[in-house]
A and B are shown apart, each in its own frame.
Chain A
Amino acid sequence: MPATKVHVTTTINGEPVEFLAEPRQSLLEVLRDVVQLTGSKEGCNDGNCGACTVNMDGRIVDSCLVLGVEAEGADIQTVEGIASADGLHPIQQAFLENAALQCGICTPGFLVSSKALLEKEPNPSEERIRMWLAGNLCRCTGYDKIVKAVMAAAKEMAS
């Protein structure tokens, strides 16, 4: 009864990764349960919370809305790929210093989204940040400190 699995070749956080996915498995499920990258979180599984946000070929996507098999040939970055050997990325540091997380379940999604924004637009306005992050729900912080953290990271990265 289990459907035949499909062989998929991708790049995840800069490393070549191969996996077998059932056609019905979402990318989020594959990342968490097959590749064992559990940093991406599931809050809704229907594209409405952003906790599962990953960067796929330069675009941010809700990985619960992408099929694992669609990752064939793709270049994927997850929260696990944001820090480097040199340490935390400025966006991660800014989240910590600005107390931009309380429970932290939304944080991986916000970090992936914010990093993508700052790569495109190094100096976004508050309005622009709020618009960009509107697909990521946070129930703990009321967003104030998250928005400020993104602004602080932009400043840090410009300096």
Chain B
Amino acid sequence: MTTTYEPNKVLSNKEFKVVGTRPVRPDGADKVTGRAQYGADLQLTGLLYGKTLRSPHAHANIKSIDFKKALALEGVKAVVSAKDFPETKDTANYGLGDSPMNYFRGNILADKKVLYKGQAIAAVAASSVHVAEAALSLIDVKYEVLDAVLTAPEGMAKDAPILHDDLFTKEFEKQTKVNSNIAEHFQHKMGDIDEGFAGADVIVERTFDTATVHQGYIEPHNVTALWNDDDRIHVWTSTQGAFTVRAAVSEALAVPVSKIKVTPMEIGGGFGGKINVYEDPAAALLSKKAGHKPVKMVMTRAEVFEGTGPTPGSHMTVKMGATNEGKIVAAQANLAMEAGAYPGSPVGAGAMCVFTAYDIANVTIDGYDVVVNKPKTAAYRAPGAPNAAFAAEQVIDEIAEKLNIDPLELRLQNAAKEGTRRADGPIHPRIGCVEVLEAMKEHHHYQSPLTPAKNGGKVGRGVGIGFWFNIGMQSACNISVNNDGTVNLVEGSTDIGGSRASIAMHAAEVLGISYEDVKPQVADTDSVGYTAITGGSRTTFATGWAAYEAANDVKAQLIDRAATIWGVDPDSVEMEEGVLRSKTDTELNMSFKDLSAQLNDTGGPIVGRGAVDPSGIGGSFCGQIVDVEVDPETGKTDILRFTVVQDAGKAIHPSYVEGQMQGGSVQGIGWALNEEYYYSEDGRMNNPTFLDYRMPTSLDLPMIDTVIVEVANPGHPYGVRGVGEANIVSPQAAVANAIKSAVGARMEKMPMNPAAIMEQLWS
């Protein structure tokens, strides 16, 4: 090799002053010195400690609960159960759509019936966490144990035990009277699927099963709640959405939102799993019952595995047909995903993404949302899409193999473009699918020979591409000018991966000041306008946009103020690169810094506001190239080389964009090779520890090379597309395709652990 290869490329086509640079994050010093305050670090005067009693059974009726002995234990201050919820309306909506109140509350504290092992039944507040734990073992619950269903096919079976006697299947958007575990069956249709397959020269059809996996954030869920003597509630918690928590606590406890304040603490990872609200309402109830004392609850790792998350296991059949020339003419998918205990699996999102990278005339997609006796699933980075891509991207690979066409070439030949219609309805706006595939094809990795084996195994290469649509939603931001030429920025998005920096950069760019002169702060729900979750890859896109609006508001006011000082028409004044000047009189100019020092004497403070609910959402495509080595004797797979290419639209802070791409890809690798909820027949998770639920370590991985593609999203002032999720969609399929290329085994089951690979090799 003559040229030296430089990893981590940014294929940028528009440059800005601050946007696109890589400054140190504003919360950095606190986070490398141990000073950052995460939820579990909070100490309040008079603090009590709460613990949750959880179901030992996957499916059971609760006959009775007796708290007598627990309450008699010294140090126990209060107990709560579902009986402590006040009367209220029938549906709950905490910002993510309506759900039946009994399902919503059931997942906080179960009433009458438990639907998964680990479901919360009651909670205790005590003087120490050890006393609270001791009290749990003194609560006497009588159960009538029922048969459990653990997978979507089991749940859909005719004679399956039924989880909910009030759940009736919704079929093609119509409510039926059929009581079953199938909450919903929907279909997307485009063209004529039979005609499509009739015109195909090759057809591949396969059925895939994937296991339940967890988001795996290192920080367990935690909450501290104080139900004050004046009936105002204050909640400090680790969450992806402070306003979501406020609404959920309000709905659960029938208390108006104006009486609830939520302070988002630093958050130790979420990946979608810290959108749902778990112990927060119970902690507030305990606080009230314990005489208005603050109550802190921190989950154990086992509670996190058994009582929160996960993302669903799935059962999927995908069939695709292509002509000999490589045109994909028909695609059909049957996706059944586990919702967990209550309806709401991400199968809808999976269906929106399954064939979205391609322009296919004839498509039918059926989706089934199936309740099973596992924890209620929560969002996990592009929820539903990785399952679907594991199926579709392997079928495409097999078509390429059958047609003897390069797998990236086949994808390029059929790639979706601006104007391509998605089977679920929308027409693609400007997207970067082709650009991502081209960057993959031209990449040093793809152009290089296979990475040599390290341990004498067989090597192979695989590729995959995935799509995530991203979301917009509401964000708010205020910016106030300090008299030393800096600004304070207040926003409502909890910062999980450096978003304080990327949001501040929007404001610095508008004002033409340096990044260091913007001081961002994440505020509580009393101190900033409504801001939806940090999720759906929306934070930099939407909250960044709110900062852009707020900064433009500040800018307009600065121009007004300068015009007043100079006694000229504001229309004749402009502000560029941090300097205000008259467009007509070159004598009249003043730096932002000088003007800021005069504000208090020339009319008072300047505060800008930004509030958005943007519609110009730009979906993101992301592809991976992976070289693996498989030991044909044991089935152990090692990742030898890995490259991820994603369209960011515009990378505001390229290092944090790369971080998302690398982190999402590595979660995908863990999901592909190791991670799974390993269930006993009666529905107990056998591996609720990090020892047995094995996530990738540094030793399992090579460097994760990145290419940021920038196809500007026309719907955002700087062209931003969200980058948090598309990167987890196709690593699993890319790994599967690489394993196929290495040892010839087509992997229909995930995880592709040694046992699964050996089973496939021997079959």
Contact residues of A with B, CB < 8 Å? Answer: 1, 24, 32, 36-46, 48-49, 51, 78-80, 82-83, 88, 92, 95-99, 101-108, 111, 126, 129-131, 133-148
Contact = CB atoms under 8 A, between A and B. Distances in A.
A83 B22 contact: no
**Max chain B C-beta neighbours (<10 A), residue from A1, A41, A130, A143:** A143
B219 A105 contact: yes
Interface stretch (B263-271, B443-451, B550-558): B263-271
Nearest to A129: B698
Contacts of B32: 79, 82-83, 88, 92, 95-96, 101, 104, 107, 111
A88 B498 contact: no
Given A42-B40, A92-B33, A137 B704 contact: no
Interface string B614-637: 000000000000000000000000
B218 A142 contact: no
B659 A141 contact: yes
21 contacts: A38-B37, A38-B40, A41-B40, A42-B298, A43-B219, A43-B268, A79-B32, A83-B32, A96-B25, A104-B31, A104-B266, A105-B268, A105-B269, A108-B34, A133-B699, A137-B218, A137-B695, A137-B697, A139-B271, A142-B666, A144-B701
A148 B703 CA distance: 9
Contacts of A24: 130
A149 to B, nearest CB: 10
A85 B656 CA distance: 29
A108 B498 CA distance: 17
A106 B704 CA distance: 19
B665 interface: yes
A63 to B, nearest CB: 13
Contacts of A38: 34, 37-38, 40-41
Nearest to B267: A103
Contact of A49 (B28, B40, B218, B659): B218
A140 B497 contact: yes
Contact of A139 (B216, B300, B699): B216
A48 B689 contact: yes
Contacts of A147: 698, 703
Given A42-B40, A51-B218, A102-B497, A141 B662 contact: yes
B748 to A, nearest CB: 27
B33 A145 contact: no
Contacts, number: 180
Nearest to B656: A99
B663 A44 contact: no
Contacts of A43: 218-220, 268, 301, 690
A112 B714 CA distance: 45
A79 B659 CA distance: 23
Contacts of B22: 99
Contacts of B696: 142-143
Q: State the majority secondary structure of interface residues on A.
A: loop
Contacts of A42: 40, 220, 298
A112 to B, nearest CB: 10
A140 B34 contact: no
A147 B130 CA distance: 38
Contacts of A46: 301, 689-691
Nearest to B271: A139
Given A36-B43, A142-B701, A79 B34 contact: yes
B29 interface: yes
Given A97-B24, A129-B698, A102 B43 contact: no
Question: When A and B form their complex, which 4 residue pairs have the shortest distance between CB atoms, in order from nearest?
Answer: A39-B34, A105-B268, A142-B666, A142-B662
Contact of B33 (A39, A40, A41): A39
Interface string B492-504: 0000111000000
Nearest to A92: B32
Contact of A105 (B25, B218, B667, B690): B218
Contacts of A135: 697
Contact of A41 (B267, B268, B498, B701): B268
Given A1-B74, A137-B690, A142 B699 contact: no
B498 A99 contact: yes
Contact of A45 (B34, B301, B659): B301
B704 A144 contact: yes
Contact of A134 (B220, B301, B665, B699): B699
Nearest to B694: A48
A93 B216 CA distance: 27
A145 B658 contact: yes
Contacts of B268: 41, 43, 103-106
A154 B665 CA distance: 27
B42 to A, nearest CB: 9
A111 B216 CA distance: 21
Contacts of B27: 104
A117 to B, nearest CB: 12
A99 B298 CA distance: 28
Nearest to A98: B655
A79 B74 CA distance: 36
A23 to B, nearest CB: 12
A134 to B, nearest CB: 4
Contacts of A45: 300-301
Interface in B1-48: 22, 24-25, 27-29, 31-38, 40-41, 43
Given A43-B218, A43-B220, A103-B217, A140 B698 contact: no
Contact of B38 (A36, A41, A138, A140): A41
Contacts of B269: 102-103, 105, 139-140
B298 to A, nearest CB: 8
A110 B516 CA distance: 27
**Max chain A C-beta neighbours (<10 A), residue from B25, B663, B667, B695:** B663
Nearest to B703: A144
Nearest to A82: B33
Given A96-B29, A102-B663, A104-B27, 14 more contacts: A39-B33, A49-B690, A79-B34, A80-B33, A99-B656, A102-B269, A102-B497, A103-B496, A105-B217, A131-B699, A137-B690, A139-B695, A140-B497, A142-B662
